[in-house]
Amino acid sequence: MVDEPAAQLGRNLTYGLLDSIGRAIVTGQFENKVFPTEAELAKQHGVSRSVTREAVKMLSAKGLLSARPRQGTTVQPTSSWNLFDTDVLRWMLERQLSVDLLRQFNELRVSVEPEGAALAAQVAGDDDIARIDAGLVRMRAAESGLDDPLEADIAFHVAILRASKNPFYIQLRDVVSTALRTSIRFTNRIKGRTADVNEHAKVLDAIVARDPDAARIAMRRIIGDVLGLIEERQHQAD
């Protein structure tokens, strides 16, 4: 019989080590350095070799490490990282704020979310529209301090991705949720206010009206506003 508390502890140790090493790699702490052996990592972090081996295996699957016989374990270049992995994205966004990274993320959004909204206008069911509406209701409540503006905004955007019925768009919901937490904080700090609820309402209205072109334009306008703010900040920094 498996000892559940011990098994849970093992998982917690593995994920704790994964998070610690992953963040260290992404923030450049191993740059121009030889990556430690499993034995060295186990000793440094006070965990077993099996926990270390599992964490290294998981980081390799995320594209951060490469472990090969006789060559040891090496840190991979950024181009090899799985940027759609929510852990990798979170570590990247937890670094010193990169306006370039926010711009690149929102360039991805503008290529996905407007089309997702257009698809939702064509195929969304009543339950999908109810979820989008619930997100908008939360955004209105947040304006009065009755909900979290960040979580409400994320709920709205994720509901639209789900309503597209496209499994590829739907799988991007975790990426969108993770990155929006930083993106929205950044843009709200610049604007000094939360998201424009009326502009978001136009997306819902277009989806309800089954008007894909209007839904696409309304969503593109929202993300275009974000890109405009980021570009303005970049010009100020130059």
Which residues have a Cβ under 8 Å from the Cβ of 126 and sit 6 or more positions away?
Answer: none
pLDDT (0 to 100) of residue 102: 82
Whether 168 maps to a domain, the answer reads yes
Whether 90 maps to a domain, the answer reads no
- Do 90 and 178 meet the contact criterion of CB atoms below 8 Å apart? yes
- What percentage of the chain carries pLDDT values higher than 70? 91
Q: Is there a single domain that holds both residue 138 and residue 73?
A: no
- In angstroms, what CA-CA distances link 225 with 59, 107, 119, 131? 36, 12, 22, 24
Residue after which a domain boundary falls, among 33, 48, 80: 80
Write out pLDDT tens, residues 204-217: 999 999 999 999 99
Query: How far, in Å, CA of 138 to CA of 222, rounded?
Result: 18
Q: Is there a single domain that holds both residue 222 and residue 196?
A: yes
Q: Is there a single domain that holds both residue 147 and residue 221?
A: yes
Q: Which of 28-37, 80-89, 133-142, 180-189 has the lowest average pLDDT?
A: 180-189
Q: Give the bridge partners for 67, in sequence order.
A: 73
162 confidence band (pLDDT: 50, 70, 90): very high
Q: Is there a single domain that holds both residue 113 and residue 65?
A: no
The residue segments making up the domain with residue 231 are: 97-237
Residue 6 pLDDT more than 60?
no
Structure tokens at 86: 């929510």
Whether 89 maps to a domain, the answer reads no
